[in-house]
Amino acid sequence: MMTGAPPRIPVGCGAFVSFHPSLGAMTASHRGHQNGLPAYFSMPSMTRSGGPSFLGAQYAPFVVPDNPNSPSFRVRDVALPKGLEQERFDARKGIRSAVDQLPRFQDKASGDPVLAIDQYYQQSYDLISSPKAQKAFRIQDEKDSVRDKYGRNTFGQRALLSRRLVEAGVPFITLNESGWDHHSNLFKTLKTRLPTFDATIAALIEDLEERGLLDETLVVVLGEFGRTPKINKGGGRDHWANAMSVMMAGAGTPGGTVVGATDRQGYAAVERVLSPENFASTIYLKLGINPNRIIYTPQGRPAHLVSDHTPIQELMG
């Protein structure tokens, strides 16, 4: 679901390693960063298989682990450290630039990892020095009414911060909201958790629409698989790969559209059965990326970005 390609190597404990770039990393590679901000954010952590793989570290997500619901919220590493004045910082940057100009550092092969580090440093400089980047993180500038609408909780304020990043030009943001693996006490837990989650998603969509951003922003809500149709002995549901649901809104997606169906018991998809590849191709096309493009592995082997580049036509508008 994060890459549009099946994982190659099972690692154990339900974890997998993917050697295919994630949707976010590929978007960062294709779109590039602007206004000093990285092109790919993930909060509060990087999702499994959400990394850049062979694209390189410069396309890894910028992770924001900090809690934007905290009164003292401040994104680390996006401003000069206390005690370091701008003049001194510029001097250090100048020394590094002078060293880079020495002949022994000029001859770099195209695959030299030092080049990726150089690009990473440059992104860091841009982030620290960009007024638009600094402004995007100042969630405290939002009106109390807006913050209340999103919900005064961690997920709600991360969603609001995401909207600010979208306004600043960030093309791909992932909110990694864990804690939905309810093998027991399902109904009691969801009765408390679902209302605030639902309110946050609704606030995000409404806010994007009011600001004229929904037509060009895709909001996706999903997990990595479904849950068993039957309730287990612990009053919960277990892992289920035969059917799942995904919600999409914005970016030309027709509202009120339902694609596909399961059997009456919810055991398996029986109508318009679609794959993660179709899902990924739909997202790529809405981002202006050809899912049928050829990418090359570090060994120089060509591979399709998505093996089945057929999008979900009902969602293309």
For residue 10, count other CB atoms closer than 10 A to its CB.
10
Q: Could you tell me the sign of the dihedral formed by the alpha carbons of 133, 135, 137, 142, in that order? A: negative
User: Which stretches of the chain are assigned E, i.e. beta strand?
Assistant: 9-12, 15-17, 40-43, 62-63, 172-175, 219-221, 226-227, 239-240, 247-249, 261-262, 269-271, 294-296, 302-304
The DSSP code for 317 is: -
Give me the pLDDT at residue 9, please. Answer: 59
Please provide the average confidence, as pLDDT, over all residues in the chain. 87
Give me the pLDDT at residue 133, please. Answer: 82
Q: Where are the domains of the chain?
A: 1-139, 179-317
State the Cα–Cα distance between residues 268 and 266, nearest whole angstrom.
6
SS3 of residue 165 by DSSP: helix
- The CB-based long-range contact list for 203-209 (8 Å cut-off, 24+ gap) reads 203/149, 203/150, 203/151, 203/156, 203/159, 203/160, 204/150, 204/159, 204/160, 204/162, 204/163, 205/249, 205/250, 207/146, 207/149, 207/150, 207/160, 207/163, 208/163, 208/166, 208/250
Contact between 45 and 177 under an 8 Å Cβ cutoff? The reply is no
Q: 125-161: per-residue pLDDT in tens? A: 566 567 888 889 999 999 999 999 999 999 999 999 9
pLDDT tens digit at each of 317 positions of the chain: 999 988 765 544 444 455 789 999 999 999 988 778 899 999 999 988 899 988 888 899 999 999 999 998 988 766 656 666 666 766 665 676 666 676 765 655 544 555 555 665 566 556 656 788 888 999 999 999 999 999 999 999 999 999 999 999 999 999 999 999 999 999 999 999 999 999 999 999 999 999 999 999 999 999 989 999 999 999 999 999 999 999 999 999 999 999 999 999 999 999 999 999 999 999 999 999 999 999 988 788 898 999 999 999 999 98
Give me the pLDDT at residue 301, please. Answer: 87
Give me the pLDDT at residue 193, please. Answer: 95
Q: Could you tell me the sign of the dihedral formed by the alpha carbons of 272, 276, 278, 284, in that order? A: positive
Q: 155-181: per-residue pLDDT in tens? A: 999 999 999 999 999 999 999 999 999
**Predicted structure pTM score:** 0.85
Q: In terms of Cα–Cα distance, which of 215, 207, 204 is closest to 253?
A: 215
